[in-house]
Structure 1
Amino acid sequence: MSALEWVSAVLILFGSTLALTAAIALVRFRDTLARMHAATKPQVIGLVLVLLGAAIQVRGDVNAWMLVLMMLFVLLTAPVIAHLIGRTAYREQRYRDGLLQINELGDEEV
């Protein structure tokens, strides 16, 4: 195995481990805001690492650029999705009491 194949294998393994921990956290966390954190941060980084490892494996092929485009799409859309989920959770009051220290969306400070 060449050095690039080792790097690719390590990236794919580390990315899949991050995605697994994010999936476990989605099941174990109690409220929407904590689940939102688990669904965006490690899940996105894990997916990007797996796609980067796969792009190294298929380097020189047209499909490598498709993997790069997928990485960019995920990196651009994940913050927007997390923002919308957070706003919806706030509006429907699906968060633990005392969790928010500053309430910029409400009339009063919490």
Structure 2
Amino acid sequence: MEQIAEILISALLVIGGIFAVVGSYGLLKLRDTMQRLHAPTKASTVGVGSALIASMAYFLVFEGKISWHELMITLFLFLTAPITANFIAKAQMHRALREEDMPKTGVGSDWATFDPELTMVQPSPTDDAAPAVAEAPRRA
């Protein structure tokens, strides 16, 4: 049993290392921010997550303890990496793109902004008792 666990832990560490190296290489070699964004967020998430899962497996098999710290770090990493990637992409779009290059939104506000008028609950014209959500205008 211990030999199978050692092989599994070793495989997870090797897989994590490969993903970390690929993510680092992609961060260095890809041309612009939007391309560079994918390499570290996806590859390092899998790489670090694999190393943390290997650590959890080691402590469970060889120490007889469940390591909650690694589980919490893994969950936090998997939850925050997409949000961070989204923030970086939006910052790059606002910094590098011109307004005339962006697609038209069909509403009075600029692209990727919150429009409270489209999300307000308004009474339905057919039934005064049932509220309806206003729909966004469709693009042609």
Q: What's the TM-score once normalised by structure 2's chain length?
A: 0.65
Unaligned 5+ segments in structure 1 are: 95-99
Q: 2:104 and 2:38 mapped to 1: Cα distance? A: 18
- The aligned residue for residue 61 of structure 1 is 65
Match of residue 94, structure 2, among 83, 91, 94: 91
Q: State which structure, 1 or 2, has the greater radius of gyration over its C-alpha atoms.
A: 2
Whether 1:72 and 2:75 are equivalent positions in the alignment is: yes
- The aligned residue for residue 24 of structure 2 is 23
How far apart are 1:5 and its partner, in Å? Answer: 1.2
Q: Please tell me the residue identity of whatever aligns with 2:15.
A: F
- The aligned residue for residue 39 of structure 1 is 40
Alignment CA distance shift 1:38-1:2 (3 Å): same
Consecutive aligned runs of 4 or more in structure 1 exceeding 6 Å deviation: none
Unaligned 5+ segments in structure 2 are: 106-110, 113-140
How far apart are 1:7 and its partner, in Å? Answer: 0.2
Q: Please tell me the residue identity of whatever aligns with 1:89.
A: Q
How far apart are 1:103 and its partner, in Å? Answer: 7.7
Say how many residue pairs are matched. 100
Q: What's the TM-score once normalised by structure 1's chain length?
A: 0.81
Q: Is contact 1:15-1:49 (8 Å) kept?
A: yes
Q: 2:55 and 2:43 mapped to 1: Cα distance? A: 18
How far apart are 1:24 and its partner, in Å? Answer: 0.9
Q: 1:69 and 1:33 mapped to 2: Cα distance? A: 29
Q: 2:24 and 2:89 mapped to 1: Cα distance? A: 18
- Structure with higher helix content: 1
- Where relative contact order (Cα < 8 A, 6+ residues apart) is larger, the structure is 1
CA RMSD in angstroms comes to 2.2
Q: Percent identity?
A: 25
Deviation string 1:12-65 (CA, Å, 9 cap, x unpaired) is 111111011100110111100111111111110111111111111111325x21
Give the 3-state SS of the residue equivalent to 1:92 in structure 2: helix
